[in-house]
Amino acid sequence: MTQTTLSLKEAQQQAQGLREQINDHNYRYYVLDDPIIADASYDRLMQQLKSIEADFPELITPESPTQRVGAAPLKVFGQIRHELPMLSLDNAFNEDDLNDFDRRVRERLGTDSAVEYACEPKLDGIAVSLLYEKGALMRGATRGDGTTGEDITLNVRTIATIPLKLLGEGWPDRLEVRGEIFMPKEGFERLNKRAKARDEKVFVNPRNAAAGSLRQLDSKITAKRPLDIYCYSAGVVEGGELPDRHADILERFKTWGLRVNPELRVVKGAAACAEYFSRMSEKREALPYEIDGIVYKVNRLALQEQLGFVARAPRWAVAHKFPAREEMTLLKDVEFQVGRTGAITPVARLEPVFVGGVTVSNATLHNMDEVARLGLKIGDTVVIHRAGDVIPKVVRAIPDRRPADARDIELPERCPVCHSDVERDEDEAAARCTGGLYCSAQRKEAIKHFASRKAMDIDGLGDKLVDQFVEKGLVNTVADLYKLGAEPIASLERMGKKSATNLVNALKASQKTTLARFIYGLGIREVGEATAQSLVAHYRDLEAIKSATVEQLQEVDDVGPVVAAHIETFFKQEHNLEVMDELLKVGVHWDEDTGQEEGVDQPLQGEVWVLTGTLHTMTRDEGKAVLQKVGAKVTGSVSAKTTALLAGEKAGSKLTKAQNLGVRVVTEDEFIVLMQQWGV
């Protein structure tokens, strides 16, 4: 009988029979690793099914093996909130960590007996959640942040090793299966080989290839990628029961057509876990997929429940990571990068080397203390360390390979971006650019700080708008804010004429400020609100502050030698002075300033206060600022001249001394009541 003469009923029967055969062969091939027909025979069965479905499209079901080719491209992934959070695991990096984990488990369980653990490789892939209802695959989601993931249902349906319909019987009405989607090494090599032949970008490692494939908006592309899965646990279970041991659950998964790692083993005690780890370490390179460690889980679910969770990780499981991959290469040069806060970081430029799954040509050196600790010179042969997604770093030099012309690594005296002075405190590892108002590397952060509520308080100037101003070249320094008109602002994303006009008005309103707010808004290192107010209270005038020496600045309450040096250095930078002059030209101004906020009474005028302990409703600096606003002088030590002590939690020797001297002690709750009375 030819297909064209089939009746609908006959076609339905044949299609169902072919689907059952194909699903059975998929199970034998992917789950049991025991195929019983040749690939060509399998292909003929699939072709017969496709032919019937082509003639009788009404027979096509979502669970049909033919429906893995992908659907129409999405514009964006939807979000799926996990009904049960997908928790991360704590890490063990050596056998001592493993023994500590086992000890904690036994202590919490109140037993000296060896605990039974399920051990399995930790795949270097993408964690996913698969939800089956009545045995049919309904949705797939990425782990995301553990609470919410991306809806990748169309993509997971294209992966041949994920059953669209569970086999057998006895599965719960609703079953969430969790697993790791990965790309096998062989498939990764084939994918990159094809990409090279087409002069396309290649993937750096199988994990990135899997992630990129799984996050394609066009599932037809995903369908062409060699993705695989191993299932490692259950999430939501409704309308049915699962076995009471983790390993038995995974064995049950296999009978339903779900892939489970064949290296799964059940052992007793930490020593047996360590032995399994050692065996898998030796076997690692021969495995057809990448792994980065071993996961140990307490096998009995009742004990898992008894152990519970801590933070975002279960107490009953741990990931024992393999040692990070290391390689040697040449340190060709060191360049200095300027971060958004002015920190200057040395970066190693390396002879490219493949380590930890990626080609590394740059590595962080953190700071000059680290350079000194490692004893590095340009030209050295160095060891590069990369662990997972961690930024590669230089861990040591090989002195025996140092060439005669190796050069010292020296911190630049001038910022490599804006050429302002570079300063470095003796007790601080990081060096910093002092051109905070001008340096383009710090531009966004400088503007955001200047516009903040406690500085110039520019209403409506949020972070995203600042980003657009800088990226489109509308604002190069904070002074440029006051040169903006409504028209260029209105052209920006999510802005209109009304919003633009409101912002221009807010900028005009902010031009009248106080000297203390202005000083704080400049972003001088370690000059907060309280210090800015102390400076103004002492000098009353911007020019006086600008011209003060380090020695003179230390006469100000609470300004020590380090802060004084930061202030003096800031005002020595020509670029900073130019920006301040420009701010005054565009209309920023203030009245005669005593360092106190307008409209605030001075009920504590002449009083001396000290703060100690931990405050919960505010920081110590905020408490100090409040006291200074209402006229108090704030000092760092208790003496007979002290009027009152604001004592937070865990107040120590200052509280004892205040009590001995009969100094008034104010609790945080009492202070909040006083603040309300003062109107601050």
Listed in sequence order, the residues at least 6 apart from 305 whose beta carbon sits closer than 8 Å to its beta carbon are none
**In whole angstroms, what is the distance from residue 319 CA to residue 98 CA?**
9
**In whole angstroms, what is the distance from residue 430 CA to residue 451 CA?**
26
Give the other-Cβ count within 10 Å of 239's Cβ. 11
Nearest Cα to Cα of residue 577 among 472, 477, 429, 444: 477
**In whole angstroms, what is the distance from residue 33 CA to residue 39 CA?**
14
DSSP track, 537-551:
HHH-SHHHHHH--HH
**559-563: long-range pairs with CB below 8 Å, 24+:** 559/531, 559/534, 559/535, 562/425, 562/526, 563/525, 563/526, 563/527, 563/531
Give the other-Cβ count within 10 Å of 31's Cβ. 20
Half-sphere exposure of residue 164: CA atoms within 13 angstroms, side-chain side: 20
Residue 9 appears among annotated catalytic residues: no
**In whole angstroms, what is the distance from residue 376 CA to residue 331 CA?**
9
**In whole angstroms, what is the distance from residue 513 CA to residue 190 CA?**
65
**In whole angstroms, what is the distance from residue 129 CA to residue 179 CA?**
7
**In whole angstroms, what is the distance from residue 138 CA to residue 158 CA?**
13
CB 599 within 8 A of CB 521: no
Nearest Cα to Cα of residue 432 among 495, 526, 531: 526
Radius of gyration of the chain (CA): 33
**Angle at which helices 206-214 and 185-197 cross, to 10°:** 80
Two tokens, residue 639: 């003496």
End-to-end CA distance of the chain: 92
Chain centre distance of CA 493: 26
**In whole angstroms, what is the distance from residue 497 CA to residue 495 CA?**
7
Q: How many secondary structure helices (H) and strands (E) does the chain include?
A: 24, 26
Strands 116-123 and 291-298: antiparallel
**In whole angstroms, what is the distance from residue 535 CA to residue 542 CA?**
9
Give Cα separations from 578 to 139, 415, 426, 582 (angstroms): 60, 17, 29, 6
Helix (H, G, I), strand (E, B) or coil at 249: helix
**In whole angstroms, what is the distance from residue 175 CA to residue 238 CA?**
7
Choose the catalytic residue: 75, 122, 283, 508: 122
Helix (H, G, I), strand (E, B) or coil at 254: helix
Q: CA 586, 588, 591, 595 torsion: positive or negative?
A: negative
Active site residues: 122
